[in-house]
């Protein structure tokens, strides 16, 4: 059986890191605050991937965002995916050169899908994570882009079927209704995806406790679960959650902390 993953997502807005509830943002702190409260050299042993999303509503400063990505990659050995505001191959290249291993695309699926094919051609399909935001309106499931401000006409099935033809490597599926609520994932959204799904699915929106992560990972259609809540898993929360998952027979990578530390020391000396 393939290993599953636990992902930590950071929401970035013009130099600050944010809490989100139903896509309404609240500022928490800057990079200094984040580094004081989250030791990523330690947290990296409790997660399998870090996602950093630029959710800035106004004009974006990509150079500033790339600086934050570089700062966070210094202490984090797990793969990092970054996205937000990518409109061309150059934008994707800037993020990858700043330390990201993958790029996360959302609105681009709507406004210029051909660019996604270009990015995949240059950097590989495994480099692209397609982010899809879902909201229930009038008993219907809607796909929303542009930070949840634009409703698409396509059904979730049609939208995902479309992006599967764009050479994306993974699907990051977020419930806007559950986002930041701590009420657990909306697993029922998986029923509206193509069957079988040919790419890994990351489920996001709603995780507030260990058992929410477990509930998501139990579903055979889910390859990874993500949490973006900065307080529900503060301190040793992520570490304890991972220990419980492994204790309950979830197949997650097990890091050899001593070997990783030795490798980091070797690379530091080489630099």
Q: What DSSP assignment string belongs to 210-222?
A: HHHHHHHHHSTT-
User: Of the candidates 58, 72, 62, 1, which has an alpha carbon nearest to the alpha carbon of residue 30?
Assistant: 72
> Rounded to 10 degrees, what is the CA torsion of 216, 220, 224, 229?
-10
Q: Which domain holds residue 166?
A: 5-270
Given this model, what pLDDT does residue 168 score?
A: 97
Given this model, what pLDDT does residue 47 score?
A: 93
Residue 133: active-site member: yes
**Number of residues written out for the chain:** 271
Take residue 72 and report the two structure tokens written for it: 């966070």
CB 203 within 8 A of CB 185: yes
CB atoms within 10 A of CB 40: 21
Ramachandran category for residue 214: left, alpha or beta (phi over 0 → left; psi -120 to 50 → alpha): alpha
Q: Which residue has the tokens 């990505």?
A: 69
Task: Summarize pLDDT for 71-81 with one digit per residue, the tens.
Answer: 998 878 899 99
Residue 177 CA to residue 21 CA, distance in Å, equals: 8
Looking at the predicted structure, is the pLDDT value of residue 166 above 60? Answer: yes
Given this model, what pLDDT does residue 36 score?
A: 86
CB 183 within 8 A of CB 151: no
Catalytic, out of 133, 177, 179, 186: 133
Task: Summarize pLDDT for 3-39 with one digit per residue, the tens.
Answer: 899 999 999 999 999 999 999 999 999 999 998 888 8
Q: Which residue has the tokens 């996604």?
A: 116
CB 47 within 8 A of CB 7: yes
| Neighbouring-strand partners of residue 142 | 135
Using alpha carbons only, what angle is made at residue 238 by residues 234 and 240, rounded to the nearest 5 degrees? 110
Task: Summarize pLDDT for 181-194 with one digit per residue, the tens.
Answer: 999 999 999 999 99
* Domains of the chain: total: 1
CATH of the domain at 24: 3.20.20.70
């Amino acid at each position: 059986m393939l290993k599953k993953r636990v992902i930590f997502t950071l929401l970035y807005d013009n130099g600050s890191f944010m809490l989100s509830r139903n896509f309404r943002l609240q500022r928490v702190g800057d990079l200094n605050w984040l580094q004081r409260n989250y030791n990523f050299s330690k947290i990296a042993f409790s997660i399998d991937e870090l996602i950093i999303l630029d959710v800035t509503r106004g004009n974006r400063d990509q150079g500033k965002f790339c600086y934050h990505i570089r700062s966070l990659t210094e202490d984090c050995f797990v793969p990092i995916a970054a996205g937000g505001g990518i409109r061309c191959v150059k934008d994707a290249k800037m993020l990858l050169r700043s330390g990201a291993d993958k790029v996360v695309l959302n609105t681009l699926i709507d406004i210029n899908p051909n660019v996604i094919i270009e990015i995949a051609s240059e950097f590989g399909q495994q480099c692209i994570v397609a982010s899809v935001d879902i909201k229930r309106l009038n008993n219907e499931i809607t796909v929303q882009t542009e930070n949840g401000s634009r409703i698409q006409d396509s059904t979730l099935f049609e939208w995902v079927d479309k992006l599967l033809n764009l050479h994306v490597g993974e699907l990051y599926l977020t419930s806007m209704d559950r986002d930041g609520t701590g009420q657990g994932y909306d697993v029922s959204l998986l029923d509206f995806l193509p069957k079988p799904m040919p790419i890994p699915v990351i489920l996001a929106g709603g995780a507030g406790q260990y058992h929410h992560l477990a509930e998501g990972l139990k579903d055979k259609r889910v390859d990874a679960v993500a949490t973006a809540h900065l307080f529900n898993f503060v301190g040793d929360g992520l570490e304890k959650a991972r220990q419980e998952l492994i204790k309950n027979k979830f197949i997650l990578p097990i890091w050899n902390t001593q070997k990783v530390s030795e490798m980091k020391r070797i690379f530091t000396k080489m630099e």
